[in-house]
């Protein structure tokens, strides 16, 4: 029986055991349409199957893999890890590899998968170490042998570039926005029913603001008031939740050809009006990653997203909508807005107004800047973001003239758009 026919039989008869069709094969084929299956060659590889998938189908497949990942069976986890790699999600595969290593510390599979995932993530030292451990257990694994050679070559090139001239080295050292967010920890979980509903409501509220509508149409062609999470997924943008995003209202990274917006679970406990600017910030970052590429500065991306989030929040509030003043997200949005308005001197915060974790420090920093440095509104917002993301490894990077020009032009454009919004809404800075 041809492979395709065998798999079709497997799919329509899930209760019947078919040796040739693995759970992973069945899962991937099941996410294809009838037309997509018919377009495949008789002996199609799983790589060819995945190549036919649209972004929404890949998201669906990954959600199914996430469910299978709960298994304690090594054979199942191997399939899940392979599936994640096929779908371009090396970070997820790395997590599964860690589970495999814990489950079977004397087995080669976890180390081989970890080596492959680390290679895709650019972690060559980890890739070499895990590949060597896998080969010590299973010396005949030809795939891992090849991977080890590649990783050792890349590791050697990386060490060589460390001694290159500053201008040459900068190309490799430049902050990688999507990778940076990946490495800040966690790729998020599929939204539960309440989080899904809040996302749909937040998108509706976002579209009803002028700034949000402009952004949504640019990122999601054809977006309207009926745009939902499902619409985003069909366009290659997913929204996930996680327990903590390190104090950020959201983070964005690229997973294969899918852009992922991760929002802390705490945020979904608040009103859709508060979720709207967070979704707007995420879409702003997606837009920049699409237009500028993953090598663009994370600082500039975050600065722009913060200003857009503030504008959306100001528009939401202007309609009389607000949020629970005791909530972490509400306080975070309100503090950013207050910094932007530059009015702490004339209108100091009430006791406990900005008491959520991490906010008193931001408040103190902004108040000192206003009093001592004469830094105003938009400039202070940009400075706050720079402070948060200007990490040690970024300070070591010597910027090329090209990157400096890009940075300066981006900042100029940000300030122009911000000033235009101030004029349109009357949110002008106080005279000093």
3-state secondary structure 21-43: CCHHHHHHHHCCCHHHHHCCCCC
**Strand pairing report for 258-264 and 251-255:** antiparallel
Q: Pick from 101, 128, 161: which residue ends a domain?
A: 161
Distance CA 23, CA 83 (A): 10
pLDDT of residue 291: 86
What mean pLDDT is predicted for residues 345-352? Answer: 82
Distance CA 250, CA 280 (A): 10
pLDDT digits (tens, 9 = 90+) for 14-40: 333 333 467 888 888 888 888 888 888
Residue 159 has pLDDT above 70, yes or no: no
B/e letters for 184-215, b = 16+ CB within 10 Å, e = fewer, are eebbbebbeeebbebbbbbbbbbbbbebbbeb
* Residue 139: Cβ within 10 Å count: 10
* Residue whose entry in the numeric block shows the structure tokens 């190549």: 51
Longest Cα–Cα distance of the chain, Å, equals 82
pLDDT digits (tens, 9 = 90+) for 247-301: 789 988 888 788 899 999 999 999 999 999 999 999 999 999 888 877 777 888 9
pLDDT of residue 418: 92
Question: For residue 168, is it within any domain?
Answer: no
What mean pLDDT is predicted for residues 207-225? Answer: 92
Number of domains in the chain: 2
Question: For residue 22, is it within any domain?
Answer: yes
Residue 179 has pLDDT above 70, yes or no: no
Residue 422 has pLDDT above 80, yes or no: yes
Nearest CA-CA partner of 158 in 145, 149, 169: 169
> What phi, psi does 251 have (nearest 5°)?
-140, 155
Output the average pLDDT for the chain. 81
What CATH number is given to the structural domain containing 108? 1.25.40.10
Percent of the chain scoring above 70 in pLDDT: 83
What mean pLDDT is predicted for residues 390-396? Answer: 48
Q: How sure is the predictor about 234, in pLDDT bands with cuts at 50, 70 and 90?
A: confident
Q: Which residue has the higher pLDDT, 271 or 12?
A: 271
For the chain, the residue count is: 432
What mean pLDDT is predicted for residues 211-234? Answer: 91
280 and 155 inside one domain: no
pLDDT of residue 174: 43
pLDDT digits (tens, 9 = 90+) for 306-324: 999 999 999 999 998 888 8
Residue 392 has pLDDT above 50, yes or no: no
146 and 202 inside one domain: no
203 and 333 inside one domain: yes
What mean pLDDT is predicted for residues 188-199? Answer: 88
Q: How sure is the predictor about 199, in pLDDT bands with cuts at 50, 70 and 90?
A: very high
Q: Which residue range(s) make up the domain with 15?
A: 3-161
Q: Pick from 161, 196, 227: which residue ends a domain?
A: 161
Residue 169 has pLDDT above 60, yes or no: no
Q: Pick from 120, 137, 161: which residue ends a domain?
A: 161
* Global confidence as pTM: 0.69
pLDDT of residue 242: 84
B/e letters for 372-408, b = 16+ CB within 10 Å, e = fewer, are eeebbbbbbbbbbbeebbeeeebeebebeeebeebee
112 and 191 inside one domain: no
pLDDT digits (tens, 9 = 90+) for 320-343: 888 888 899 999 999 999 999 887
338 and 399 inside one domain: yes
pLDDT of residue 71: 87
153 and 263 inside one domain: no
201 and 330 inside one domain: yes
């Amino acid at each position: 029986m041809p492979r395709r026919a065998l798999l079709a039989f497997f799919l329509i008869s899930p209760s019947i055991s078919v040796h040739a069709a693995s759970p992973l094969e069945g899962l991937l084929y099941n996410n294809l349409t009838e037309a997509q299956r018919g377009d495949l060659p008789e002996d199609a590889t799983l790589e060819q199957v995945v190549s036919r998938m649209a972004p929404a189908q890949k998201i669906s497949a990954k959600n199914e893999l996430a469910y299978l990942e709960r298994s304690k069976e090594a054979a199942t986890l191997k399939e899940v890890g392979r599936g994640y790699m096929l779908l371009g999600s090396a970070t997820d595969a790395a997590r599964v590899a860690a589970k495999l290593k814990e489950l079977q510390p004397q087995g080669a599979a976890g180390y081989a998968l970890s080596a492959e995932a680390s290679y895709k993530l650019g972690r060559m030292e980890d890739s070499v170490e895990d590949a060597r451990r896998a080969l010590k257990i299973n010396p005949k694994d030809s795939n891992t042998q090849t991977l080890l050679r590649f990783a050792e070559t890349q590791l050697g090139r990386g060490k060589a570039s460390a001694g290159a001239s500053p201008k040459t080295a900068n190309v490799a050292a430049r902050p990688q926005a999507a990778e940076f967010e990946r490495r800040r920890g966690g790729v998020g979980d599929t939204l539960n029913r309440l989080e899904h509903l809040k996302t749909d409501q937040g998108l509706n509220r976002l579209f009803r603001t002028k700034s949000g509508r402009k952004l949504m149409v640019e990122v999601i062609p054809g977006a309207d008031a009926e745009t939902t999470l499902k619409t985003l997924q069909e366009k290659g943008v997913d929204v996930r939740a996680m327990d903590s995003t390190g104090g950020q209202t959201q983070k964005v990274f690229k997973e294969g050809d899918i852009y992922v917006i991760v929002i802390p679970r705490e945020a979904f406990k608040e009103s859709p009006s508060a979720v709207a600017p967070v979704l707007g910030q995420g879409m702003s970052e997606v837009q920049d990653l699409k237009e500028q590429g993953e090598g663009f500065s994370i600082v500039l991306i975050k600065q722009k997203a913060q200003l857009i989030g503030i504008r959306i929040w100001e528009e939401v509030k202007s309609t009389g909508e607000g949020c629970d003043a005791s909530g972490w997200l509400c306080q975070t949005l309100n503090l950013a807005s207050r910094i932007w308005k530059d009015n702490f001197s004339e209108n100091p915060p009430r006791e406990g107004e900005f008491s959520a974790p991490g906010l008193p420090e931001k408040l103190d920093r902004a108040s000192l800047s206003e009093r001592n440095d004469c830094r105003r509104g938009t400039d202070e917002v940009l400075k706050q973001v720079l402070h948060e993301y200007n990490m040690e490894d970024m300070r070591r990077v010597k910027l090329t003239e090209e990157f400096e020009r890009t940075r300066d032009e981006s900042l100029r454009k940000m300030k122009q758009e911000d000033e235009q919004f101030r004029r349109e809404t009357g949110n002008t800075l106080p005279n000093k």
